């Protein structure tokens, strides 16, 4: 049986799981309503107490929507951060924190890192299994946009070769990310650091000309300004990586004697399988470490998984509290129209019909609240995604998934079954006492 289950497509498994979650509540409803049509009376009661009904529907919707939004957002954040690291097969840096190095190299977060010297870079770049090794240089910015020094080869790889304008031809030219406010033809001077430090330490003697713009990547590099790494070194009064007399050479090969250092090297292997042997080889070197950004992200996801479990537990507690409040509200609301129910029973309405009226009233509240919460959760997730994208420059898209559908289906089914309790208690009231008020 299990072999048959695992042989089914994922979409079929999720669909069957949804049906299984809905089934208990649906079967209970079919059993209660068989032979009766209480919806006309139920609709009249809903309209009669529409103000109170609206309050409880909004309460249910808020709880369900919050759970959906948090779940979808967490999944969207995982996908967005993974996509942002997709182009970074292997990163080599000086020994230290892999997380710090990843945040700097992949997500352009300012970090203090050691430098790899020319011999270390040369060992990486000339390895027979390496297609290209791009050194990175950080530290400068312009209007809070990080200025990153690298090679034309890496820029072309990062942008998939899609550049409006052209690639730089000398160390005084720059290519900007899709979201940078500079336009092609603009001239700017980079500054050291960010914020107040940026304003105080402008390299006024160095002017860079924007000659191209990258296509959008959905990563923090969309707000970066990319320049030849030689320009970064020259701005800070360092050698430019090439021996004197080499002319206006840009990019590899670099002369180890004139290589000022780089905090990180992005390595693109000739074959994907070679990444693992390269990591092992480079990690064995005393002066460097090599890591897969995806592996570092996986460890962070495990931490996020613990947070997700805590959030899921909080959402579960919220659902329990909401379910309890819904049951309490049904008790209160049935008391409000107890005279109507008692009158029905007095004129001979079967107890099961009265039971169906009360249960369908509760079911209408629950289903309406869950449907409203489903739409509200999607809208809330979209708003959160826009905020996170604006703050991190990582494109986040939180969409409705099977996990959220299962969440709503399970909650509706459980709540419909719990709604049997106030419906049963409504039949225990004294008819004469209720009619007398």
d(CA 168, CA 133): 19
Q: In Å, how far from its chain's centre is CA 205?
A: 42
pLDDT, tens only, 42-52: 888 888 878 87
d(CA 262, CA 279): 18
**Residue 200 pLDDT grade (very low, low, confident, very high; cuts 50, 70, 90):** low
Give pLDDT, residue 299: 81
pLDDT, tens only, 121-161: 998 998 889 998 999 998 888 888 899 999 999 999 998 88
Give pLDDT, residue 59: 82
pLDDT, tens only, 2-36: 667 667 777 777 788 888 888 888 888 888 888 77
What is the average pLDDT across 413-417? 84
Residue position matching structure tokens 């790889």? 157
Of 215, 100, 96, 195, whose CA–CA distance to 144 is shortest?
195
Give pLDDT, residue 433: 52
**Residue 357 pLDDT grade (very low, low, confident, very high; cuts 50, 70, 90):** confident
Of 15, 10, 25, 74, whose CA–CA distance to 377 is shortest?
74
Please, are residues 421 and 327 in contact by the beta-carbon 8 Å criterion? yes
Please, are residues 300 and 80 in contact by the beta-carbon 8 Å criterion? no
Q: How many residues are present in the chain?
A: 437
d(CA 220, CA 203): 24
User: Which of 181-185, 227-231, 283-287, 305-309 comes out lowest in average pLDDT?
Assistant: 305-309
Residues of the chain with pLDDT > 90, as a percent, come to 13
**Residue 316 pLDDT grade (very low, low, confident, very high; cuts 50, 70, 90):** low
Of 71, 76, 58, 46, whose CA–CA distance to 376 is shortest?
58
pLDDT, tens only, 394-408: 888 877 888 888 888
pTM to 2 decimal places: 0.74
pLDDT, tens only, 171-191: 889 999 988 989 998 998 888
d(CA 435, CA 211): 85
Q: Which helix (H) or strand (E) holds 336?
A: helix 293-336
Of 403, 121, 413, 364, whose CA–CA distance to 265 is shortest?
121
């Amino acid at each position: 049986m299990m072999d048959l289950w695992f042989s089914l497509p994922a979409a079929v498994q999720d669909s069957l799981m949804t049906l299984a979650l809905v089934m208990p509540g649906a079967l209970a409803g079919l059993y209660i309503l068989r032979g009766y049509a209480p919806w006309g009376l139920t609709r009249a009661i809903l309209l009669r107490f529409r103000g109170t009904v609206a309050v409880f529907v909004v309460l249910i919707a808020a709880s369900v929507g919050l759970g959906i939004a948090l779940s979808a957002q967490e999944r969207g954040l995982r996908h967005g951060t993974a996509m942002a690291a997709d182009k970074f097969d292997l990163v080599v840096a000086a020994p230290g924190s892999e997380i710090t190095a990843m945040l700097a190299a992949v997500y352009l977060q300012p970090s203090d890192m050691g430098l790899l010297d020319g011999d270390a870079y040369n060992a990486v770049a000339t390895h027979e299994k390496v297609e290209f090794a791009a050194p990175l240089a950080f530290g400068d910015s312009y209007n809070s946009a990080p200025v990153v020094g690298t090679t034309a080869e890496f820029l072309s790889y990062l942008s998939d070769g899609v550049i409006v304008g052209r690639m730089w031809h000398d160390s005084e030219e720059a290519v900007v990310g899709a979201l940078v406010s500079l336009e092609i033809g603009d001239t700017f001077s980079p500054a050291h650091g960010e914020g107040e430090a940026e304003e105080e330490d402008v390299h006024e003697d160095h002017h860079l000309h924007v000659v191209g713009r990258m296509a959008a990547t959905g990563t923090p590099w969309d707000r970066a300004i990319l320049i030849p790494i030689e320009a970064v070194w020259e701005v800070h009064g360092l050698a430019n990586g090439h021996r004197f007399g080499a002319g206006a050479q840009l990019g590899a090969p670099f002369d180890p004697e004139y290589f000022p250092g780089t905090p990180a090297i992005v390595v693109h292997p000739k074959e994907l399988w070679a990444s693992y042997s390269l990591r092992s080889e480079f990690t064995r070197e005393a002066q460097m470490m090599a890591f897969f950004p995806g592996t570092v992200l996986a460890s962070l996801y495990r931490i996020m998984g613990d947070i997700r479990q805590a959030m899921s537990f909080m959402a579960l507690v919220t659902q329990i509290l909401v379910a309890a409040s819904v049951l309490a509200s049904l008790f209160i609301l049935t008391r409000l129209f107890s005279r109507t129910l008692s009158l029905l029973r007095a004129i001979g309405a079967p107890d099961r019909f009265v039971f169906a009226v009360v249960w369908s009233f509760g079911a209408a509240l629950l289903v309406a609240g869950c449907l409203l919460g489903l739409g509200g959760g999607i809208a809330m997730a979209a708003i959160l995604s826009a905020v996170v994208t604006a703050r991190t420059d990582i494109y986040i898209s939180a969409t409705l998934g099977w996990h959220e559908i299962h969440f709503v289906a399970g909650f509706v089914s459980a709540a419909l079954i719990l709604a049997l309790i106030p419906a049963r208690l409504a039949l225990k009231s004294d008819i004469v006492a209720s009619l007398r008020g």
